[in-house]
């Protein structure tokens, strides 16, 4: 009996279980090309798109199936800001920190969000409702200072509007729960 081969199959099977058939097929396709490792970012994007973030079991599975050292896969995932290693909240808050918004008080908006939610940049509130992120110009400078919650744009903000915006989403969540 070839022990190494048996173990290899087991490792591959475990890796596949951490993903979906579609993701495994995508990885297989990437690995059949001339430079499989160059597809790592594309694979991580696809995995994140499906799961919402890149958790350790999925990163390990990608490493196994692509035959890339796990440390390298984890390094790539943590290097790029567009990869998320923790689950995101139900709503994504994006505060514009571009020049026009900054001049109009984006820092005070951001601080109010941080105080209200009790979290810092990139973190998710304890109730799982909100993830807080900052970004460069959102393209609506005329409304500065601006933030978005998911696809919704809120402009001409004052810090006192922040709790009202948050309450709105919390209220909707409560109503949905009661239905
Ligand atoms: S700088 Fe904030 S929208 Fe442009």
Whole-prediction pTM:
0.69
Per-residue pLDDT of 15-40, as tens digits, reads: 999 999 999 999 999 999 888 889 99
Query: Across the strands, what pairs with 149?
Result: 93, 152
Per-residue pLDDT of 76-109, as tens digits, reads: 999 998 898 888 899 999 999 999 999 999 999 9
Give the Å distance between the CA of 141 and the centre of ligand 1: 4
DSSP tally for the chain: helices H, then strands E = 8, 4
DSSP letters, 160-172, are THHHHHHHHHHHH
End-to-end CA distance of the chain: 59
Task: Report residues whose beta carbon is within 6 angstroms of any ligand 1 atom.
Answer: 96, 98-101, 137-141, 144, 146
């Amino acid at each position: 009996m070839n022990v190494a081969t048996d173990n290899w199959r087991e490792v591959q099977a475990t890796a596949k279980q951490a993903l979906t058939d579609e993701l495994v097929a995508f990885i297989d396709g990437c690995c059949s090309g001339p430079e499989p490792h160059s597809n790592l970012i594309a694979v991580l994007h696809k995995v994140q798109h499906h799961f919402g973030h890149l958790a350790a079991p999925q990163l390990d599975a990608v490493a196994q199936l692509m035959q890339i050292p796990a440390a390298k896969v984890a390094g790539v995932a943590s290097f790029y800001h567009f990869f998320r290693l923790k689950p995101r909240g139900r709503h994504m808050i994006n505060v514009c920190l571009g020049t026009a918004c900054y001049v109009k008080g984006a820092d005070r908006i951001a601080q109010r969000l941080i105080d209200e939610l009790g979290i810092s940049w990139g973190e998710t509130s304890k109730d799982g409702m909100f993830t807080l992120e900052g970004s460069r110009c959102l393209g609506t400078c005329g409304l500065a200072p601006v933030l978005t919650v998911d696809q919704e744009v809120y402009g001409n903000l004052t810090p006192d509007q922040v709790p009202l915006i948050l309450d709105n989403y919390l209220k909707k969540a409560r109503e949905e729960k009661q239905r």
